[in-house]
Amino acid sequence: MQVFDIHILGCGSALPTAQHYPSSQIVHIREKLFMVDCGEGAQLQMRKSKLSFSKLNSIFISHLHGDHCFGLMGLISTLGLLGRTADLTIYAVAELEDILRPQLDFFCRDMIYKVLIKPFDAEKNAVIYEDRSIKVSTIPLKHRVPCAGFLFEEKEGDRHIIPDMVKYYNVPVKELQYIKRGEDFTTPDGQIIPCNKLTRPADPVRKYAYCSDTAYSEEIIPIIAGVDLLYHEATFGNADKHRAPKTKHTTAEQAALIAKTAGVKELMLGHFSSRYPDNNMLLSEAKAIFSNTILANENLLKKL
C-alpha cells in the first residue's frame, strides 16, 4: 500500500509548555506532504521529524487563532531561503489574506515563489483540494471564530493483477490498464473473462479526519463516519467540563462519544490544555467510552 502517515508536530492548546508545542501536523500521502495548522515551532518540529521541506505541497489552516497559524511566516520565509520555486497554496478562511499579505510584502518581497491563499467557507462541508490520489474536504466545526476541520480521503485505486491468471489467458500487456480499472477481458475467440478472475480487489480506501478546535458537535458525525483515524481535540477533562461550552472546546469524554457514535476505527486525542501536566487522565476518561483511543504527542508517527 502507498504511504499514508500522520506526523504530529504539536498538539497543545493556546499556551505553549515544555510538554507540548502549539497545533500542527503533517499528513504524508504518497510523495506529498500536507501541513494541517502551523503553530509556532512547526518548522523546527519538521526538522526533528526529518520531514523534507521540499515535499511540502499545501497548508490547511483550520482557523485564525494564533496557536494554529503563528508559525506561518517563519515557515514561508524558510522555504524561500531553501530556494523553493513552486507556488505554495494555503487553504484558510478569507480573512487570512488580509492578515498575511502585508507581512509577505514586507518580509518576503524578494521570494522567488508565490504564496496563494485559497479561501473556504468554514460553515460548509465541501471538497477544497483534489488530485489523482486524494481529496480533502472541510468539516464545519463550532468554535468562537469560523473554524473547519479537514477530511483526507484516498480515492479508490486500481485492482491488482493476478499474474498467473493473466499468463494463463494470454492477456496482452496493453489490456492490463483496462482490466485493473474493472473491465472484463474478451479473448480472440470471443470468450469473456470476468475482471474478478484476473484481479484482486483494490486496496481499501483510507480516511483521516482532523477536528480541532470545536465544541461538542454531533453534526460532524455523518462526515467522519467510519474513518480510520480521528484526531479530535480534548482540551478539558471532566473536572473542568463546565469550561468547555463557554470556550467552545471539548472534553476527552465528549471526543470519545463522537468517535463511538461515528464508528471510527481509532481516536487520537489532542489540543491539550496547559493546566494538565499529565494527559493520561484525559486518556483514561476517553477510553472508558471508546477503548481504541491514543494520545497525540510531539513527533509521533501514526501510519494508516
Catalytic residues: 67
Nine-digit cell string for 143:
468554535
Measure the CA angle with vertex 129, ends 125 and 133; round to 5°: 115
